[in-house]
Amino acid sequence: VGAGAEWYTRSLNPLGNPSKPRVCAVSFLNTAPLVWGLEHGPQRGAFELSYAVPSACADRVAEGAADIGLVPVVEIAKLALDIAPGTAIACRGPVRSILLISKVPVREIRTLAADTSSRTSVQLARVILARRYGVEPAFVNMAPALAPMLGTCDAALLIGDPALRVEPAELPFTTLDLGAEWVEMTGLPFVFAAWAGRAKFITPETARVFVESWRFGESRRSEIVAVEAARRGLPEPLVKEYLTRHIAFEMGAAEIEGLRLFLRYAGLDAHLRIAEAVTL
């Protein structure tokens, strides 16, 4: 896969600039296949790589502390960033890691506890509840612990690893998988995040590195499952199912259409700039 970090570094810095593009990645389970090559493969060393939570990753790009980041789509629109084509964090059905759990009928939800730092997931919940169920609850910022959340509010929004640790079928509550809800409502995939930055950094060369890093990760899927399951204390079958059945990593025409629709629904009708597709 690829031609090694030396080639990447030369192609990313054709004028011999000694500085590498500064890339802010995210160390979530669903990002592991995208960054595997950057960490362990031929693409290692192509970028100056750092890690942050998604909202902080967006802030670093906005402040100029990073050139490119794996940025939530709400922040991409707000910051008017360019998107590197080819890869994304997306779903085409149930996503499993964004669950709305309610102790009352969904159409009766008035208060919703959520970790509001995940702005894209919160916006997705707002859009689905308003458009599909006709409710606009008040959001209450809380740590992701189900019992306290439901002790305070009608419903809870669990995102990421906390959602994966819950088995919806075992709960005595109504549970909505927001990936499934979006796809059922629109017929389109949902995009959560993508590699994005200022236009001068989103080039065919950088996009190619990101695509090849993901392809390297795809070729090491069993290794990723074993490492990430052990790191996060999750069962290997759950991690394998999540990364193979629930999360999609390609940004195709349908994903772009779904992204545009979501931003319109969320009142973020910014003109999306997606760089020209790379040829690999």
pLDDT at 15: 43
Task: Note the pLDDT of residue 273.
Answer: 77
Grouping H, G, I as helix, E, B as strand and the rest as coil, residue 235 is: coil
C-alpha–C-alpha distance, residues 45 and 34, integer Å: 15
Burial 140-175 (b: 16+ CB within 10 A, else e): eebebebeebbeebbbbbbbbebbbebebeeeeeeb
Q: Is 46 part of any domain?
A: yes
- Could you give the number of structural domains in the chain? 2
Lateral strand order in the sheet of 155-159: 138-141, 111-114, 155-159, 98-102, 174-177
Asked if residue 222 and residue 151 are part of one domain, the reply reads no
Among 38, 51, 43, 33, which Cα is nearest to 11's? Answer: 43
Q: What is the pLDDT of residue 110?
A: 99
From residue 107, alpha-carbon distances to 70, 112, 140, 243, 274 in Å are: 34, 12, 18, 32, 37
Which residues, 6 or more positions from 55, have their beta carbon under 8 angstroms from its beta carbon? 72, 75, 117, 118, 119
Same domain, 179 and 196: no
Domain end among 167, 186, 205: 186
Structural domain includes residue 76 = yes
Instruction: State how far the alpha carbon of 246 is from the alpha carbons of 96, 156, 189, 192, in Å.
Output: 7, 21, 11, 13
- Last residue within a domain, chosen from 134, 164, 186: 186
279 within some domain = no
Low-confidence ranges of the chain (pLDDT < 70): 1-18, 270-271, 275-280
**Is 211 a domain residue?**
yes
Asked whether residue 69 is assigned to any structural domain, the reply reads yes
Q: What is the pLDDT of residue 270?
A: 64
Q: Which of 3, 42, 12, 20 has its CA nearest to residue 214?
A: 42
Residue 49 lies inside a defined structural domain of this protein: yes
On whether both 111 and 173 belong to a single domain, the answer is yes
Does residue 280 lie within any of the structural domains? Answer: no
**Residue 150 shares a structural domain with residue 203:** no
Q: What pLDDT score was predicted for residue 116?
A: 75
Q: First-to-last CA distance in the chain?
A: 11
Task: Specify whether 200 is located in the same domain as 80.
Answer: yes
**Domain containing 57: what range?**
5-92+189-274
CATH of the domain at 176: 3.40.190.10
Cβ contact 271:199 at 8 Å: no
Which of 162, 186, 210 marks a domain boundary? Answer: 186
Helix (H, G, I), strand (E, B) or coil at 89: strand
Query: Which 8-state DSSP code applies to residue 118?
Result: -
- 172 lies in the same domain as 239: no
Query: How far is 38 from 22, CA to CA, in rounded Å?
Result: 12
Asked if residue 265 and residue 205 are part of one domain, the reply reads yes
- CA torsion sign for 86, 92, 98, 100 is positive
73 lies in some domain: yes
CA distance 140 to 129: 15
Are 202 and 265 in a shared domain?
yes
CA–CA separation, 157 vs 178, rounded Å? 10
Distances (CA, A) of 96 to 50, 89, 187: 27, 13, 18
